């Protein structure tokens, strides 16, 4: 019985020390991780903005899959009305949630897309991180619908997404949701 108490005490001390070390490491690394996330977001906003001035972040509530939008202004524009929007979307992929930044004209037309955070399968769903993958969505959402099914794509594009259909559908549905949201914002 004494041996069990000794072993239990030692294990409790080891666990307490490990928890303390992990807590200290988290306290040291958390600010750095947050800084890196902010830098990545700033770079992505710059990339998706297509040279327009990015306005302040506006949190969104009541729209599933839409967390934030940023108004975009032409540099020569002096009005308060945005020329376009960047919307932070959350889609559901094979590996879970995917965070997407998408640029939309006021008509809901997609002009830029960047996949930010995801847990998709390397070699298949991770292909969506490439800008060339996102080209199939550009110019859609206004008068032309966003392709949400493989049969809405050209054969070459459909072949590109083979093996990663869930990723494709997750991104497409998020973009469709974002397009509809922007149309509401733009009053169209």
pLDDT single digits (tens) 10-58: 999 999 999 999 999 999 999 998 898 889 888 888 988 988 999 999 9
Asked whether the whole model's pTM tops 0.95, one would answer no
Nearest-angstrom CA–CA distance, 178 and 146: 11
**Residues 70/55, Cβ–Cβ less than 8 Å:** yes
Choose between 176 and 79: higher pLDDT: 176
Query: Percentage of the chain with pLDDT > 70?
Result: 83
| Residue with token string 């032309």 | 144
Residue 96 φ/ψ, nearest 5 degrees: 120, -155
- The pLDDT, as a whole number, for residue 144 is 86
pLDDT of residue 127: 62
The pLDDT-based confidence of 158 (bands split at 50, 70, 90) is: low
- Cβ atoms 90, 98 nearer than 8 A: yes
Q: How many CB atoms lie within 10 A of CB 188?
A: 11
pLDDT at 25: 92
Count helices and strands in the chain by DSSP H and E runs: 4, 6
- Distance between CA 182 and CA 14 in Å, rounded? 54
pLDDT tens-digit readout, 58-106: 999 988 899 999 999 987 666 678 889 999 999 887 777 888 899 999 9
Nearest to 57 by CA among 67, 47, 46, 43: 67
SS3 content of the chain, % helix, strand, coil (to 5): 50, 20, 30
pLDDT of residue 177: 93
The predicted pLDDT at position 76 comes to 67
Helix, strand, or coil (residue 102): strand
* Domain-wise residue ranges, the chain: 49-186
For the chain, give the longest Cα–Cα distance: 81
The predicted pLDDT at position 139 comes to 87
Rounded distance between C-alpha atoms, residue 175 and residue 110, angstroms = 8
Q: Could you report the per-residue pLDDT of 99-148, keeping only the tens digit for each?
A: 889 999 999 999 999 888 766 666 655 566 667 778 888 888 888 888 77
CA-based nearest residue to 72, from 187, 182, 184, 188: 182
Which residues in 94-187 belong to E strands, given as ranges? Answer: 96-105, 110-115
Could you please report the per-residue DSSP string of 118-135? --PPTTTGGGGGSHHHHG
Note the pLDDT of residue 117: 73
């Amino acid at each position: 019985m004494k041996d069990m108490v000794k072993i239990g005490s030692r294990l409790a001390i080891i666990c307490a020390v490990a928890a303390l070390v992990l807590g200290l490491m988290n306290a040291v690394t958390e600010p750095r991780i947050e800084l890196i996330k902010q830098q990545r977001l700033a770079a992505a906003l710059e990339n998706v903005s297509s040279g327009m001035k990015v306005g302040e972040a506006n949190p969104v509530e009541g729209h599933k899959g839409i967390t934030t939008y940023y108004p975009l202004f032409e540099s020569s524009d002096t009005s308060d009305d945005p020329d376009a929007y960047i919307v932070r979307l959350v889609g559901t992929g094979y590996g879970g949630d995917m965070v997407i930044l998408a640029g939309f004209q006021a008509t809901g037309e997609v002009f830029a897309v960047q996949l930010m955070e995801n847990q998709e399968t390397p070699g298949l769903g991770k292909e969506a991180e490439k800008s060339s993958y996102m080209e199939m969505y550009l110019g859609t959402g206004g008068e032309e619908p966003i392709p949400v099914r493989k049969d809405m794509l050209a054969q070459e594009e459909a072949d590109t997404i083979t093996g990663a259909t869930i990723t494709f559908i997750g991104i497409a549905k998020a973009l469709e949701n974002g397009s509809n949201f922007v149309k509401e914002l733009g009053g169209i």
